[in-house]
Structure 1
Amino acid sequence: MNASAIFPPNGVRTIALIGKYNSRDISDSLCLLANDLQRRGMTVLIEKATAENSGSPQILAWACGDFIAIGERADLAIVLGGDGTMLNAARQLARFGVPLVGVNQGRLGFMTDIARSDMLAVLDDLLAGHFIPESRQLLVASIFRNGQKLSEHLALNEVVIDKGAFGRLIELQLFIDGEFVFNLRADGLIVSTPTGSTAYSLSANGPIQHPQVSSIALVPLCPHALSNRPIVVSDACQIEVRILRAIDSRVHCDGQMAVDLRVGDIICIRRAEFSACLLHPPGYSYFTMLREKLHWSAQPDVLPLMSVEDQDDLMGGADCSG
């Protein structure tokens, strides 16, 4: 299935509901959604671990399935939780092309557009095909040791290579498309998608990348040399990181999967062959979302105007005319 297959909306018959794990707070929301969707003639499928962790007999009464079953049967999925819940669902379902709609029950919610209080009201627009599909790239991180592949993982936000729990810096080499770029001594390196540019990368002074820009950002974490700055490259690039010196280094994907690293390990990162599809409500704007989440519209405290004499006193009476 691909995202375009559900538009026009008369192709939507089965909707999966996915909730935050280890939280019983979502049970009421899941029940409300499931009942409303059934009333509209939809087939409802609850993600298996969501149902089991909800602790609700009502939720367990609905048909349940794992992510493979959802990928094979669902026309779209509604995710209730925060960005972490959406990240997990997107990684699991991207290869199946199942579009995702996010209901925010977390904190910031950069990827979960809909407030819980509005989730039933927006179903009319959703099922009428008025939601806007948007493709989001994923990264594939392959870890090699002694020439053998240890594991391979997906990331929607970022791949992070860090020094681990010990205080000593990690030392690594970065190659892009086989070309040596630099040696880095730092707390680590973030390899971020545009989606992840407002996550960990942002807190490390990485650039904000618009989701429709085909790019990957390489952001050093507390580099020993201040000249090591973030770099943005094409998402067609093949990125290779070699561990030169480390004690307890690890590679993390979306902060939800971790692999211990050793000196000599190589992490190869590339864009995945498939993308995640997010569905946004009518009127959605990426820049409006940024203004709201990052408080760009907040007004500074209004200060009284200073007289010329007060300005001279503040500047020590300096003559600025020249």
Structure 2
Amino acid sequence: MELKQVIIAHKAGDPQSQAWAEKCARQLEARHCKVLMGPSGFKDNPYPVFLASATSKIDLALILGGDGTVLTAARHLAQEGIPILAVNVGGHLGFLTEPFEEFQNTEQIWERLESDRYAVQERMMLEARLFEGSRIDPQPVSDRFFCLNEMCVKPASIDRMPTSILEMEVDGEIVDQYQGDGLLVSTPTGSTCYTASANGPIIHPGMSAIAVTPICPLSLSSRPIVIPAGSVVSIWPLGDYELNTKLWTDGTLATSIWPGQWVNVSMAKRFAKFIILRESYSFYQTLREKLQWAGARIRYSNNHRN
């Protein structure tokens, strides 16, 4: 990998993340690399400026923060094909990041990157778009929205907690109507986040699949479903005359859904590319550590392994 132009995004409001970002910027600039650096947070989105300011191909995006910081980066950078090195600096769970311990010798990291001593993991993303008009000739009425974790269609109101009635189609065929708090359409990466807390399935990130999970449905027969990655999920809000129903991407508000409009969700054409520094990376170890799987209350030895 060449390191001629690099993005560095640090978690907004976190002094440790900012200090490491500034240290990395100085080291990279000493290697004659152009650095674009800025904070990323709820009120800070540096990526449009980064992409507009780039004078040549961006070789790497160094993301210093937690999972939320990484999700924002993936939404903006995956479609540009920019590889992401995400490090847990100032984050909490760190499901999508490299451990901070693997990153502290930063000069060695730059040498590893320049000599291609790393792995790249591709993670599937979803895209969504709003449509209106007839089913035969639908008209797009929004930009494309992207997510690494999940698309969520659910209502939001300032003064009350409205329920939603959503009809879902898969590839043009009606699957079910859901009444409850909303509907999640998740990637394998997102299956360990909001989808898992809504009792959805956990899917290995190496798979190509989409999980659809109802949120607190009012019917016990409403169950999660896993469908092929090439499917198109269409979600129609029903009975909403107050513009409460909204589309959320990775927990961030994307747009409101007007009466008569629907959302199409499908696999994005580009994957998010994550750089892996660990030599013994294991998804199952991540599950055990991050989700604190305890196993049986009484531990048994497995003599068959000897």
Give the TM-score normalised by structure 2: 0.83
Q: Does residue 85 in structure 1 map to residue 69 in structure 2?
A: yes
The corresponding residue for 2:303 is none
The corresponding residue for 1:157 is 149
Q: Distance in 2 between matches of 1:296 and 1:70?
A: 44
Q: Distance in 2 between matches of 1:298 and 1:118?
A: 31
The aligned runs of 1:164-179 (5 Å cut-off) are: 164-165=156-157, 166-179=160-173
Deviations 1:163-199 (A, max 9, x none): 2233332111110011111111111000000111111
Whether the 8 Å CA contact 2:209–2:226 is kept in 1: the answer is: yes
The aligned runs of 1:241-252 (5 Å cut-off) are: 241-246=235-240, 247=242, 248-252=244-248
Number of equivalenced pairs: 281
Q: Distance in 2 between matches of 1:145 and 1:224?
A: 28
Which amino acid in 2 is paired with 1:115?
F
Q: Distance in 1 between matches of 2:28 and 2:280?
A: 23
Give the TM-score normalised by structure 1: 0.79
Q: Distance in 2 between matches of 1:71 and 1:261?
A: 37
Unaligned runs of 5+ in 2: 300-306
The aligned runs of 1:185-196 (5 Å cut-off) are: 185-196=179-190
Deviations 1:186-226 (A, max 9, x none): 11000000111111111111111111100000000001111
Whether the 8 Å CA contact 2:145–2:254 is kept in 1: the answer is: no
**3-state SS of paired residue (1:210):** coil
Relative to structure 1, is the Cα distance of residues 119 and 297 closer, same or farther in structure 2, using a 3 angstrom cutoff?
farther
- In the alignment, which of 258, 261, 273 is matched to residue 262 of structure 1? 258
Which amino acid in 2 is paired with 1:89?
A
The aligned runs of 1:118-267 (5 Å cut-off) are: 118-121=103-106, 123=109, 124-146=111-133, 147-151=138-142, 152-165=144-157, 166-246=160-240, 247=242, 248-267=244-263
- In the alignment, which of 98, 110, 115 is matched to residue 113 of structure 1? 98
**3-state SS of paired residue (1:93):** helix
Q: Which has the larger radius of gyration?
A: 1
Unaligned runs of 5+ in 1: 1-8, 55-63, 303-322
The aligned runs of 1:3-42 (5 Å cut-off) are: 9=1, 11-39=2-30, 41-42=31-32
Q: Distance in 1 between matches of 2:55 and 2:234?
A: 31
Whether the 8 Å CA contact 2:8–2:38 is kept in 1: the answer is: no
Shift of 1:284: 1.5
Shift of 1:48: 4.6
Shift of 1:20: 1.8
Shift of 1:70: 4.8
Q: Distance in 2 between matches of 1:215 and 1:115?
A: 30
